[in-house]
Amino acid sequence: MMEKKVVVALGGNAILSNDASAQAQQEALIQTSKHLVNLVKEDYKLIISHGNGPQVGNLLLQQQAANSEKNPAMPLDTCVAMTQGSIGYWLANAMTNELKQANISKEVATVLTQVVVDENDEAFKNPTKPIGPFLTEEAAKEEAEKTGATFKEDAGRGYRKVVASPKPIGIHEAKTINTLVNNDIITISCGGGGVPVVGAELKGVEAVIDKDFASEKLAHLVSADMFIVLTGVDNVYINYGKENEQKLTNVTVAELEQYKAEGHFAPGSMLPKIEAAIQFAKNNPGKKAVITSLECLGDLTKNPEIGTTIVL
């Protein structure tokens, strides 16, 4: 088989479960790498992206707890960069060791990635993504007056800062990533959706980019042959959890858009993955997007029933 480029977007469960310690996250990534190496064995040129929601949230809490005049808390864009670095370091090490065990001679590189967004994106007018600690109403008002940040009440648990979640329009390091991949180097990039930047000066902004949309943008820019979005289930389902539950294996964009319009996919979980997969199939006619679980990666090329394949 001819080598093909594949972008794999890791879900949060591939890195962090209940234990937020470095050791536990490193152990999770070792297990994740065992599955990812299966694609390398199938001669895919591998480009890995990943989420960082829990990690950046924990880091913001740590920053806030230690915040002082002499040691001020770092802004959100910097925290995204910091977690890109730490997760990339763990994952690159884990992948390198798994490749050695499989007697595969390939290098792994992590690319700190800046993802360009439009400063006029409507998302900036209506921030919705909660980050950081829970505050009382009084503390939230005080913080809002001091910093200009927006706070919203979160499910009766207190008030949290909310930031915009703009759509990615470009990836500054796409050419660098492509050069690495074309030289047979496994790359880890677009961590946490990338560091959101605006304008020619690449100025960081307080925002969170959905990692599935950033991964789709990357897949398009590097001309990937396949875009794989990993989640907690092997396939996408309609009527999920009901008596008439139906597994989707091969589906067209038109069919998936119909299911989406009927409200089959939850906004906070499966919907962004569905939208990113649809976007890739539309932008890249003849190529496919796949939504499946990490555990299914090894069987993806052998069993047509594995995963949900989306084509135009």
In tens, the pLDDT along 76-92 reads: 999 999 999 999 999 99
Other CB atoms closer than 10 Å to residue 259's CB: what's the count? 18
- Residue at token pair 């979005």: 229
As for how many domains the chain has, the answer is 1
What gap in Å lies between CA 279 and CA 282, rounded to an integer? Answer: 5
Residue 129: active-site member: yes
CATH number of the domain enclosing 18: 3.40.1160.10
Residue 13: active-site member: yes
Residue 12: active-site member: yes
Judge whether 84 lies within some domain: yes
Catalytic residue among 211, 217, 287, 288: 211
H/E stretch holding 209 = none
Judge whether 91 lies within some domain: yes
Catalytic residue among 4, 13, 97, 204: 13
CA 21, 26, 27 angle in degrees (round to 5)?
100
pLDDT at res. 169:
98
Judge whether 146 lies within some domain: no
Tens digits of residue pLDDT in 125-154: 999 888 877 889 999 999 889 888 899 988
Judge whether 277 lies within some domain: yes
Stated pTM of the model: 0.93
Which residues does the chain have with pLDDT short of 50?
1
Judge whether 122 lies within some domain: no
Catalytic residue among 129, 167, 260, 282: 129
Catalytic residue among 12, 193, 194, 298: 12
Instruction: Choose among 202, 310, 293: nearest CA to 256.
Output: 310
What gap in Å lies between CA 192 and CA 55, rounded to an integer? Answer: 9
| Segments forming the whole domain that contains residue 276 | 4-117+171-310
Catalytic residue among 45, 217, 273, 288: 273
pLDDT at res. 132:
74
pLDDT at res. 62:
92
Cβ atoms of 248 and 187 closer than 8 Å: no
Cβ atoms of 161 and 132 closer than 8 Å: yes
Three-state secondary-structure class, residue 138: helix
Angle between helices 76-101 and 22-41 (to 10 degrees): 50
Residue 132: active-site member: no
Judge whether 160 lies within some domain: no
What tokens were used for 19? 């234990």
Judge whether 226 lies within some domain: yes
Q: Which residues contact 222 (CB under 8 A, 6 or more apart)?
A: 5, 7, 47, 174, 177, 178, 181
DSSP-derived secondary structure letter, 13: G
Judge whether 139 lies within some domain: no
